Amino acid sequence: DQQVKQNSPSLSVQEGRISILNCDYTNSMFDYFLWYKKYPAEGPTFLISISSIKDKNEDGRFTVFLNKSAKHLSLHIVPSQPGDSAVYFCAASKAGTASKLTFGTGTRLQVTL
């Protein structure tokens, strides 16, 4: 039972354009969402997060949008750069179990020249 879903296993975007990575969740108890980035042979690294009291959080080229009614979040990367090529994981946590993260299966982003 996958509570956090990333339905696109891969995405290819041209350098300079916008990358949009999507994530859906089924558990309405989730109240905090994170994006992690993973390069080959390395562990995931934290990228950006958003609390359920917000619908947008921005950090430089990265913006996360949350649509609670649709149980959907997205990560926008503008402009995309070749160094952004990695696997991106969406994760969520529930109120009261703040330490426990449920991850999606990941989306592999390739930024082409």
Which residues make up the interface to another protein (CB under 8 A)?
6, 32, 34, 36, 41-46, 49, 89, 91, 93, 97-106
- Between residues 2 and 14, which has the closer beta carbon with respect to another protein? 2
Q: Are 105 and 24 in contact (CB under 8 A)?
A: no
Q: Which is nearer to another protein, 11 or 79 (CB)?
A: 11
CA pseudo-torsion sign 82, 78, 39, 89: negative
Closer residue to another protein, CB minimum distance, 34 or 86: 34
Q: How far is the CB of 20 from another protein (least distance, A)?
A: 19
Cβ atoms of residues 97 and 31 within 8 Å: no
Taking the C-alpha atoms of residue 68 and residue 65, their distance in angstroms, rounded to an integer, is 10
Q: Please report how close the Cβ of residue 10 comes to another protein at its closest, in angstroms.
A: 12
Rounded to a whole number of angstroms, the minimum distance from the CB of residue 32 to another protein is 6
- Does residue 44 have a cis bond before it (omega within 30 degrees)? no
To another protein, the closest distance from the beta carbon of 4 in angstroms equals: 9
Q: What angle do CA 35, 81, 22 make, to 5 degrees?
A: 35
Instruction: For another protein, give the closer residue by CB, 8 or 79.
Output: 8
